[in-house]
Structure 1
């Protein structure tokens, strides 16, 4: 980083201001401080940028200083960064910082809360949580030992030491429970029941599901319920002992204008396997093309279902 300290300060400040321009930091100065203080570049010593025919690796030890500066400025762009590829397929990334900020604010942490993060990624999100709450209150878990080892190294380089656990995130981390908050940074097809048993009373769970983000409130033993946020969200799927997501159904016969509509695709993903796409389209039109925040999820024991407007209403579909 020799000679680039000023570039780094400028780029990090620009990122914080760009996120703040959306009103994100209003009433939440401590999260603004976390993003201003935690150095993202330490968590992405290299990343991949899509180019014609594949990916190009940008890294902080490139012999050409122009390339190093390009890497450094790119580390503070408000974009997701691909950090690990396997056979050309993305298996780990650093999420878009503004989306991370929105998720952390929606989680509603309080001083003293114990948080479990599902999907360690680069370790950057765990560092933000550790800065806000204290490292002793943060646990992050990932199935891949290479990911947890690199996350641990990045965290140590930045001066943070939360608990980094190698294991199946769908099973939680029972030895560190109970948790006041659980946040997943990978997409899931449903809500793992093991998480509910590891939650303290009044806990919240925020997970990416069906290209959206659902915020669940734990309301009793084995029960949680909540609505989707209005934010679209696309994450790498959770790997491990979880059922695969069913493929999207074929859309022949539906109007062309809806096939690529983001909100309709969300409904199809949410109800995949539980409703015919033509029936989904009829519901979507009849109900005024509902946005994500009109949908929700309820988990009760072994049952879990998604719903529109009312968990006990006429529109409900089973989840895995």
Structure 2
């Protein structure tokens, strides 16, 4: 390692410590402080040797091998910014990213990992989240991560090895899970899905917890058995790259033309539209939202009961329920 490489590592240590302080000040780890030490120990810059940032002429690449010293410093500082980083593009489409660290912290705390848990991560990304899980559990073999793209899984495997971790990295359709590594105590998805894949429940132990992005929210489910699960959304918003493969969502955004401007500006209302897009039209959704005092995400939930899956407001058996795929 050259003299300047040493300087980069010193800078990375300082930037990582600053990021941990920033997340800590927001209270993200209050319910499970062990994650603070985990984020302090795992180096994010090892997982983003290059990434893309928007510029005046499209995306600009920042990378650690730049011949320009100032550019390398910008790369390492950006690696520890509390923002998502675009890591893989194809024809202008975002295929993979490194999620915002504070959101990752919130999700990992909400996953309620315990010592000895077997964890499946759907959406390998850069491998950073799998490294955090492996470090927290102290046993790489307890962690499995899957992604559809061979290029993504290969680079994630290389990044993980560089960080000293060797969990199972699988190439395949995340909606199908990884049955050969089951049963799981926890499943966490880092990509958006339109529903809860039945295959996941069949690969879980009773009492397992599933945390998955759905309709711009984070759904936390308790698995009762291979055919039954139920849970609610966490309060905050979450935006992820859609799952690619058999379980991916339908393309297209949520239209809001014709609605009052106040409703269009309210992000929780757009969540309701996304959750009920196949069941309610715009005016029905707006009437419900007003009638129920503009409910936030925490009032919604999802139930899986055999072949039926539905979203609901306040009560699984209440008057407001909408089928999911």
Select between 251-260 and 46-55 the one with higher mean Cα deviation.
251-260
Matches within 5 A, 1:80-159: 80-133=84-137, 134-159=139-164
Matching of residue 253 in structure 1 with residue 284 in structure 2: no
Q: How far, CA to CA, are the matches of 1:245 and 1:317 in structure 2?
A: 17
Q: Secondary structure at the match of 1:79?
A: coil
Q: How far, CA to CA, are the matches of 1:150 and 1:288 in structure 2?
A: 47
What is residue 39 of structure 2 aligned with on the other side?
35
Segments of structure 1 that go 5 or more residues without pairing to the other structure are none
What is residue 20 of structure 1 aligned with on the other side?
24
Matches within 5 A, 1:155-304: 155-242=160-247, 244-245=249-250, 247-248=252-253, 250-304=255-309
Q: Contact 2:192 / 2:249 at 8 angstroms: preserved in 1?
A: no
Q: How far, CA to CA, are the matches of 1:220 and 1:115 in structure 2?
A: 17
What is residue 60 of structure 2 aligned with on the other side?
56
Q: TM-score, normalised by structure 2?
A: 0.96
CA offsets, 1:21-48, max 9 Å, x none?
A: 0112225232111100000000000000
Q: Contact 2:29 / 2:106 at 8 angstroms: preserved in 1?
A: no
Q: How far, CA to CA, are the matches of 1:308 and 1:27 in structure 2?
A: 26
Q: Contact 2:44 / 2:80 at 8 angstroms: preserved in 1?
A: yes
Q: Contact 1:249 / 1:277 at 8 angstroms: preserved in 2?
A: no
Segments of structure 2 that go 5 or more residues without pairing to the other structure are none
Q: How far, CA to CA, are the matches of 1:200 and 1:47 in structure 2?
A: 37
Q: TM-score, normalised by structure 1?
A: 0.98
Q: How far, CA to CA, are the matches of 1:107 and 1:10 in structure 2?
A: 28
Q: Secondary structure at the match of 1:90?
A: strand
Q: Secondary structure at the match of 1:191?
A: coil
Matching of residue 79 in structure 1 with residue 83 in structure 2: yes
CA offsets, 1:154-180, max 9 Å, x none?
A: 000000000000010000000000000
Q: Contact 2:124 / 2:153 at 8 angstroms: preserved in 1?
A: yes
Q: Contact 1:25 / 1:31 at 8 angstroms: preserved in 2?
A: yes
Q: How many pairs align?
A: 320
